[in-house]
């Protein structure tokens, strides 16, 4: 059994909560763009955004993987966009796990902000499709790792 570690370190365990999804069967390209979009959002805002993507009401801006992508309305700072429903569902599950971890630690859920959201390729499932004349073609599927870290934002009353 592999031992997983987080790519983000040196977090204050009393003010942060984190969760990860390992070997998810989603597109790592779509997951990367979703994570880039939700990073820095408050928890409620990110959950609302992901639900809108699942319902195809709001598009995810694609900034890196934009070849042959359609333009979408309502996107700021980007032209191309998509509605990656499957990836949004899985990332929403990881986000809800991070929220549950924060609630278990006794943190204030209303004042949580996403300080780290990353997605990167995992292992490949290697399969081959038989073709004519005794040949085969590779049919590889890349799995995805997703990590999310939340941090409690101090309220103005706590700072004073």
- Extents of the domains making up the chain: 27-118+148-154
When the pLDDT of each residue in the chain is averaged and rounded to a whole number, the result is 93
Q: What is the pLDDT of residues 88-123, one digit of tens each?
A: 999 999 999 999 999 999 999 999 999 999 999 999
| Fold of the domain spanning 27-118+148-154 | Ribosomal Protein L22; Chain A (3.90.470)
Q: How far is CA 3 from CA 6, 22, 26, 28, 32, in A?
A: 10, 11, 21, 21, 23
Q: What is the pLDDT of residues 56-84, one digit of tens each?
A: 999 999 998 888 888 888 888 788 999 99
* 35 contacts 8 by C-beta, under 8 angstroms: no
**Residue partners of 18: CB distance under 8 A and separation at least 6:** 6, 8, 11, 98, 101, 116, 147, 148, 149, 150
Q: Above 70 in pLDDT, residue 39?
A: yes
């Amino acid at each position: 059994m592999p031992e997983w570690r987080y790519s983000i370190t040196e977090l204050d365990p009393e003010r942060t909560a984190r969760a990860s999804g390992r070997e998810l069967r989603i597109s790592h390209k779509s997951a990367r763009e979703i994570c880039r979009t939700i990073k820095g959002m408050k928890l409620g805002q990110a959950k609302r955004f992901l639900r809108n993507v699942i319902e195809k009401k709001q598009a995810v801006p694609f900034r890196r993987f934009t070849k042959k992508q359609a333009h979408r309305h309502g996107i700021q700072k980007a032209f191309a966009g998509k509605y990656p429903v499957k990836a949004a569902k899985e990332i929403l599950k990881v986000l809800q796990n991070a929220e549950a971890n924060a609630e278990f630690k006794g943190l204030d859920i209303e004042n949580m902000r996403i300080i780290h959201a990353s997605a990167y390729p995992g292992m490949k499932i290697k399969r081959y499709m038989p073709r004519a004349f005794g040949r085969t073609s590779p049919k590889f599927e890349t799995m995805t790792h997703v990590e999310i870290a939340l941090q409690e934002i101090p309220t103005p009353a706590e700072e004073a």
